[in-house]
Structure 1
Amino acid sequence: MTVSLLLGPLLRHVGETTATVWVETDAPCHVRIRVDGDVTATAATFTVHGHHYAVCEIEGLPPGAALPYEVHLDDDRVWPEPHSAFPPSVVRTVDPQAPTRLLYGSCRTPTGDAPEGVVRYGPDMLRATARRLVGEPVDGNLLLLLIGDQVYADEVQEPMRAFLSQARSAAPDDGAPEDEVVHYDEYAELYRQAWSDPQVRWLLSTVPTLMVFDDHDVRDDWNTSAAWRSAMDARPWWRARVTNGLGAYWVYQHVGNLSPAQRDKDPLWARVHEARGDAAEAVDDLALRAHEDPSSYRWSHQHDVGPVRILMADTRCARSLDEEAPGDGSRSILGAEGHEWLDERLTGGPDHVVVASTVPVLLPPAVQYLEAWNEAVCAGAWGRAARGPAERLRQALDLEHWGAFQYSLRRLAAGVGELARGERGPAPATVLLLSGDVHFSYLARARGLGGSEGAGRVTQLVSSPLCNQLPVKLRRLARLSISAPFRLAGRVLTGLARVPRSGLRWHLEGRPYFGNTIGEVSFDGRSAEALWYHHPDGGPDALPKVQSRASV
């Protein structure tokens, strides 16, 4: 029987001499990667809930290489596909002396740029980026950071709704929402639909990609608060949902983030390969344990690309949610272990330090004030009677970014300030906070953290969404949140709730952009430039254009 390639190849973690290729197949087999007709890597597939995967680690590659590769399943070549319209996929290794570019974005609903999809969600910037890179030479290091909502498990499109209806028609009714993903097979289909588009598939096969989850990868507002979590835990299908969501995330996204050394130390990786037959039990055990005890597994990961340090932070699963004492770290967006992990890596030496947080650290000030006020009132600043209405407001308005975790915001501001001033070693030229989530894009410059001439610049860069534009009514509300009266009102509210100031000051530069975008940051020596690409012309074949640029 001939084995077929269901999904992939995805080019994931790359080093100076190594590259990781991830695939999903429709049956067990041996996967072989041939690079430039010579270098090979072979891996046997492993099985999770009846689905088959392989992670192939290619070693012995030259630094700074871009070499074409093929995928063979047993004895059959399955990639590149015959008569493909795209250039050969290549493995790209890191050149520590070369300039580096980071593409980044979040929040993507796959539509294939169908006319009805473009009207509601806008043009797909991953597809547009693939078209751009087909004809654009790539010099130096290029990485793609997908920083949240790679899939929408709770807002599924018609093809996924049809799959759910058919899959559940013959199964016992377990109370699962009819229009939300709950089971592992459903997650597998959700990823297949998200990444099977030919343009996106080619892009992910040839640009090294790092990923981290946000809420929709599991469910909207995931871990917003203790009250939200308690309400979800009471639903009979939630345990299966969060177990399968995190398990599928480990398989489809997280395992490819790891270097060979990190993968060898990963406790689940060892169990998966030691399993005889299906490794579902091992994956489910880790996923459920990570949900119940966030300190039991680390989803954050670090990558050094020459003089650029990239820190991909888990701001969802790791959260501590105790409302009773939010100022002592019991309520935290990273959790105790997450803060320690980040603090240990905010050290001098690199020319640039990039912290990828799916939710923005620096929001428009009025929203930041509102979140700080809301956290204080939920904790009892205005008495017990106000806590319930404040919690309902928090969930209705999604008040759950860094501004709603003041302990975490102050701790991060202190660490970033010390780093920028050179108190943790030689100061980097820039400290960049890359984020998505909010469905509009902007640049915010922090003030007062550097403290001296020559200290590192601290800048928040937000690029969102890749393909899920805000409806017009919500854009109007977002614009209001940026206005001076709302900012003043927010400052008054935080004063009335006695919220301590963080010492962090910032301002938005220019106007936010509300269309679909993909961000890019280019590093060359100690200089850095930020660009945002958009898709002004529409149509399935249009190329993206630079919407704005700024020196950072």
Structure 2
Amino acid sequence: MPALVLGPMLRYADSRSASIWVETSAPCTVAVEAAGRAYRSPTFTVHGHHYAIVDLVDLVELGQDIDSYTVRLDDEAVWPLEGRPPSRVRLLPAEGPRRLAFGSCRTSVPHDPAYVLTHGHDVLRAYARALQSPEGKWREGEWPDLLLLLGDQVYADSPSPQMLEFIRARRDTAPRNEIADFEEYAELYRQAWSDPDIRWLLSTVPTAMIFDDHDLRDDWNTSQPWRERMARTPWWRRRVVAGLGAYWIYQHLGNMSPDERAADPLLRTLGEGGDGGGALDAFAEKADAEPGSNRWSYARDLGHTRLVMVDTRCARQLTPGDRRMLDPEEWAWLQEQVAAPAERLVIGSSIPFLLPEGVHGVQNWNEALCDGRWGPLARRLSEAFRQAFDLEHWAAFRRSFEDLARLLVRAGRPVLILSGDVHYSYLARADRAPVHQIVCSPIRNPLSRVLRWANVVTQFGLATLVGAGLARLAGIPRPPFRWRVTKGPWFQNALATLTFPDVVTWYEAAGDGVRRIDSVQLR
């Protein structure tokens, strides 16, 4: 009899429809029963694993909320979980969301005292518990309409001890301490999303996701020399194919609307029967080799807001001397999304657009040296420095930074850029444009106290003093506008909410719930 391996996850949702994603232990028909209706979909198979995504359509006449739903596998009820509140479907208000929650960088380790000491409390789990509590259970003012997960949902290059046990029981080959193939990615996602509180949260709050480097590997696509070195690594091809394939299954599939999935050629192929592992692998290999063959970025109209989730990893152009965060096709797409009518833009970029100004200058300088501005020796040393210290943000792709800065100024609307990656949280604002950078990182993967102080000294102290000077020495022009960090940094594990139109709040774990770190009204 089939069982539920992962899910249900409430993924895409708008004002009329919603999509439920599941992984099952065997082929079956998945039924989601809600408000007296049953919606069904057969599973498809990839590398021996079985998945389905069930679309609940034409829901508008039922109202915004469906108070509970049931999942059946071949008519056997497998959800909801005993002891948890019912999972519900919350459609997005037609006029636009009232609140988004967001964050990034979440390791999946146990919650016992030893791991709490090293990794801190899981704020996503604490947030789930707060929503389940009698005080927070159905309070409309506290519930998010959408949860944005902005990268590093899993750590393929730094598995937990439990994941390493799984790996070592299977093989004794390279990479010994990292994920190697699709089977291990499937277990990595299972461990990340199977905690009962996390599972409940993901079953009842719609989610939108985008990857960052650790979903594949640290420094993924930081530069052309990095790609060339990894291409010579014997196990890398299998890893990148498995990583992108698993990302498509576990994360990207739910980012698409029902209409987009209905037109997707890969999903049609997988639905034709048999094991579709070969088709998924071929797709993933081409997506890595030819980024223009697939688009991981996506956009949604959310009433008053245009949400644009940007792929800042796979779509890079790494040509020395003409590095771009987005290749020409991806850049043209982003220009179209920014030009679309909306009261405001919310851009999800896994890596921050506006870093502390001094760090921005250091990354500008490093890129120029990597391109040979001070000769071959400085180029080689600067490339090593770039990879060692993660100098790979928008500032390290200066041409793309300046292009996007000018585009956002011309947009003439409020722009909120939501990011993670850097393992601290802060708010920055442009001086002469309605552009805000809101960073929330990590959900659960804090820097040590030593590294926190090192970041304060280097990024908010030393870099502030020397960054602009280094950029000028390298002949780099000033950016199109100035900006400054107005709140933060905070280094603890955190999750943030954006309450429309203009309030952002950061939370940390506190007991079985969360407490506010700070709340800011954007000006």
TM bucket, shorter chain: over 0.9
CA distance in 2, matches of 1:269, 1:312: 21
Q: Letter of the aligned partner of 1:511 in structure 2?
A: G
Calculate the TM-score normalised by the size of structure 1. Answer: 0.91
CA distance in 1, matches of 2:365, 2:206: 41
User: 1:98 Cα shift?
Assistant: 5.8
> What SS class does the counterpart of residue 22 from structure 1 fall into?
strand
The answer to whether structure 1 residue 119 and structure 2 residue 117 are counterparts is yes
The answer to whether structure 1 residue 291 and structure 2 residue 265 are counterparts is no
Equivalenced residue count is 515
CA distance in 1, matches of 2:513, 2:317: 43
> What SS class does the counterpart of residue 354 from structure 1 fall into?
strand
1:528 counterpart residue number: 502
User: 1:310 Cα shift?
Assistant: 0.8
1:461 counterpart residue number: 438
Q: Letter of the aligned partner of 2:216 in structure 1?
A: V
* Stretch deviating more after TM superposition (303-312 or 25-34): 303-312
Contact map agreement 1:348 1:419 (CA 8 A) in 2: no
Contact map agreement 1:357 1:433 (CA 8 A) in 2: yes
CA distance in 2, matches of 1:404, 1:503: 15
Q: Percent identity?
A: 45
CA distance in 1, matches of 2:317, 2:95: 40
Task: Name which of 437, 459, 466 aligns with 1:489.
Answer: 466
> What SS class does the counterpart of residue 411 from structure 2 fall into?
helix
Q: Give the alignment's Cα RMSD to 1 decimal.
A: 1.3
Task: Name which of 331, 335, 345 aligns with 1:353.
Answer: 345
Q: Letter of the aligned partner of 2:119 in structure 1?
A: Y
Report the CA distance shift for 1:472/1:484 in structure 2 as closer, same or farther (over 3 A): closer
CA distance in 1, matches of 2:418, 2:222: 20
User: 1:138 Cα shift?
Assistant: 4.6
**Structure 1: runs of 5 or more not aligned:** 421-427, 450-456
Q: Letter of the aligned partner of 2:439 in structure 1?
A: V
Report the CA distance shift for 1:266/1:500 in structure 2 as closer, same or farther (over 3 A): farther
Task: Name which of 305, 313, 325 aligns with 1:316.
Answer: 313
Post-superposition CA distance 1:83-135 (Å, at most 9, x none)? x2221001111211365211000000122422111111111011011011113
Post-superposition CA distance 1:1-38 (Å, at most 9, x none)? x11000000000012111000000000000000003x1
> What SS class does the counterpart of residue 10 from structure 1 fall into?
strand
Contact map agreement 1:366 1:481 (CA 8 A) in 2: no
CA distance in 2, matches of 1:352, 1:98: 11
The answer to whether structure 1 residue 148 and structure 2 residue 151 are counterparts is yes
> What SS class does the counterpart of residue 320 from structure 1 fall into?
coil
Contact map agreement 2:96 2:302 (CA 8 A) in 1: no
> What SS class does the counterpart of residue 67 from structure 2 fall into?
strand
> What SS class does the counterpart of residue 351 from structure 2 fall into?
coil
CA distance in 1, matches of 2:295, 2:346: 19
CA distance in 2, matches of 1:314, 1:33: 31
CA distance in 2, matches of 1:438, 1:121: 16
Q: Letter of the aligned partner of 1:42 in structure 2?
A: R
Contact map agreement 2:312 2:351 (CA 8 A) in 1: yes
1:434 counterpart residue number: 418
Post-superposition CA distance 1:395-451 (Å, at most 9, x none)? 11000000100011011101100012xxxxxxx3x21000000000000011123xx
CA distance in 2, matches of 1:112, 1:545: 22
CA distance in 1, matches of 2:502, 2:341: 16
Post-superposition CA distance 1:462-486 (Å, at most 9, x none)? 0000000001111011101344553
Contact map agreement 2:362 2:463 (CA 8 A) in 1: no
> What SS class does the counterpart of residue 479 from structure 1 fall into?
helix
* Stretch deviating more after TM superposition (184-193 or 361-370): 361-370
User: What are the residue-to-residue correspondences of 1:92-491 with 2, within 5 Å?
Assistant: 92-97=90-95, 99-135=97-133, 136=136, 137-139=138-140, 142-168=145-171, 173=173, 176-274=174-272, 276-323=273-320, 325-326=321-322, 331-347=323-339, 349-420=341-412, 428=413, 430-449=414-433, 457-491=434-468
CA distance in 1, matches of 2:210, 2:324: 18
1:503 counterpart residue number: 480
* Stretch deviating more after TM superposition (237-246 or 336-345): 336-345
CA distance in 1, matches of 2:40, 2:120: 40
Report the CA distance shift for 1:522/1:376 in structure 2 as closer, same or farther (over 3 A): same
User: 1:348 Cα shift?
Assistant: 5.7
**Structure 2: runs of 5 or more not aligned:** none
